[in-house]
Structure 1
């Protein structure tokens, strides 16, 4: 049985004077634990809606829009850098201020959400019982990344790629999730989710792409810091990766899993968004983390 999620499950949570996060919370008085989902680009918390509903019979489930995404705040860059390190701080504040029991918490983080969770875990090893990560770039290995992502990290192409992405909103929302997959593996996201991404794309002077490019401008710095601190990562980690990920190749996941001695699951026929392409697999991964 799964829950229907209505508007009462979605509200805003004030992190500090500059940032309010739009979040979704499903509460279960008899919970076996808590799950916190962290989305990637160009997603919003609606990416997790069906998965959250499927887990709500047993767990408290949280998800939020990162600053710069969906309907969460978008402070000016002199107030908030949108770097992985700054996102890690937001994640820490959210967990502390909501009073989540971290000894019974699984964090499931994908794409841009994964490095902030791991940066936080380096500083606070007890931040979660388990962290499940995948389809992200823990280390500075441009050769494993899609060409436009390499260009966003540094150099003269950065501003041009950002401008092109801002012009191509509709194409990004239509094709990002299935790009590179064979026709038989392609899938549809819900109209509600697509509408939410479109509605939240631009707020004030900042677009989702702008937030993404700010993140990338600090990406190499924070990747290098994480790699240098790898020995301090003590939180149990599982790595889940789409075999057909076009954006960040599975070799990145294999290196990370080997270096932190984590279990690695390569998902056959799956691309960059396992939770959208095969949500049941994501539900199963979360349930397994509590056993």
Structure 2
């Protein structure tokens, strides 16, 4: 199945996105996490494009999209959402399911709050919306959120090659399944001049997301979107209790805790593709 690699201008920025499948088919918008880009979804897009329309953008500062300096663009999750929202509008998308991972969750749930009528369903792959999902990994972040003058050295450590490889490798029982090219590509982009400042700005702004969890949960209770959680149960960043918590607001949520870490697509891609395909088919059956 052909994947097309496109770039369009949104708010003066070049925004790159991958697109595949028949545009008249049900659409799945795939929102990537840190420190990667839409490349994280390349194999999943290939698996699903025979039946669905798929759009996977790169946020500003990531992948092939523009990366203006941190003093030239306001790197917040609100602004990332503005850009993705404008992109989807420019593509004429008025109904779509979301696939969210890591940073994709705060972008995706902001989209859902803005346009609840557009969201046909949600797939969350270690995309958190509950306090229960925040592991001890977040303690250094919380210090910076509480005091912007706090030492950011522990956060800078997350921009190193070792930290990037760790995100892919931790919680994985068979490391031979992890493609090292993904971490190498992510690191090359992190190492671009000025990118550390971009990532630090988003690290600081991530503190706005837990405060929005009650609003995201209210959205779930009120609008009851079908939800599939495909979650690496060994993730030390967003723990499995974050997946289980969705059932509190959506008793019909489909929750699958997989033997994987933070990037379950890397080791459980075929399994996840099958679960997502079955889930999306149920959306087309809804009245």
SS at match of 2:210: helix
1 CA distance for matches of 2:272 and 2:46? 12
Q: Deviations over 1:162-208 (max 9, x none)?
A: 33233x2x2233332111334x36622263x345324422444223x
Answering whether residue 15 of structure 2 is matched by residue 16 of structure 1, we say: no
Q: Does 1:119 align with 2:106?
A: no
- The answer to whether 1:230 aligns with 2:217 is yes
Residue 99 of structure 2 corresponds to residue 92 of structure 1: no
| 1: CA distance, partners of 2:15 / 2:178 | 27
Q: 1:272 aligns with which of 248, 252, 262?
A: 262
**Aligned ranges 1:204-243 → 2 under 5 Å:** 204-207=193-196, 210-228=197-215, 230-233=217-220, 234=223, 235-243=225-233
CA–CA distance in 1 between the matches of 2:257 and 2:115? Answer: 30
Query: In the alignment, which of 181, 202, 206 is matched to residue 172 of structure 2?
Result: 181
- Shift in CA distance, 228/265, structure 1 to aligned 2, threshold 3 Å: closer
CA contact (8 A) 2:227 2:254 kept: no
Q: Distance in 2 between matches of 1:229 and 1:278?
A: 28
For residue 177 of structure 1, give the secondary structure of its aligned residue in structure 2. Answer: helix
What is the TM-score normalised by the length of structure 2? Answer: 0.83
Q: Which one is further off, 114-123 or 77-86?
A: 77-86
The answer for unaligned runs of 5 or more in structure 2 is 283-287
Contact preservation (8 Å) 2:135, 2:238? yes
Q: 2:41 aligns with which of 45, 48, 59?
A: 48
1:65-102 deviation digits (Å, cap 9, x = unpaired): 12221221223445543322222222211211111241
The whole-number CA distance in structure 2 between the counterparts of 1:158 and 1:95 is 38
Partner of 1:136: 127
Q: Does 1:150 align with 2:150?
A: no
Between the aligned partners of 1:227 and 1:186, the Cα distance in structure 2 is 40
Residue-pair matches, total: 274
The TM-score, its normalising length taken from structure 1, stands at 0.82
Distance 1:88-1:260 versus aligned 2 partners, 3 A rule: farther
* Residues 78 and 199 (structure 1), Cα distance of their counterparts in 2 relative to 1, 3 Å cut: closer
Flag as ranges the 4+ runs of structure 1 deviating above 6 A. none
- Counterpart CA distance in 2 for 1:249 and 1:97 is 36
SS of aligned partner of 1:136: coil
Contact in 2 for aligned 1:145/1:249 (Cα 8 Å): yes
Preserved contact between residue 43 and residue 69 of structure 1 (Cα < 8 Å): yes
Structure 1 residue 4 displacement after superposition: 5.5
Counterparts of 1:118 and 1:221 in 2: how far apart (Å)?
A: 13
C-alpha distance in 1 between matches for 2:206 and 2:247:
20
Which whole-Å CA distance do the structure 2 matches of 1:111 and 1:259 have between them? 20
Q: Deviations over 1:185-237 (max 9, x none)?
A: 6622263x345324422444223xx4343223122323212414532342433
CA distance in 2, matches of 1:11, 1:158: 39
Give the conservation status (yes or no) of the 8 Å contact 1:67–1:74.
Answer: yes
Q: Following the alignment from structure 1 to structure 2, what is the Cα–Cα distance between the partners of residues 81 and 42?
A: 18
Q: CA RMSD in A?
A: 2.6
Secondary structure, counterpart of 1:280 in structure 2? helix
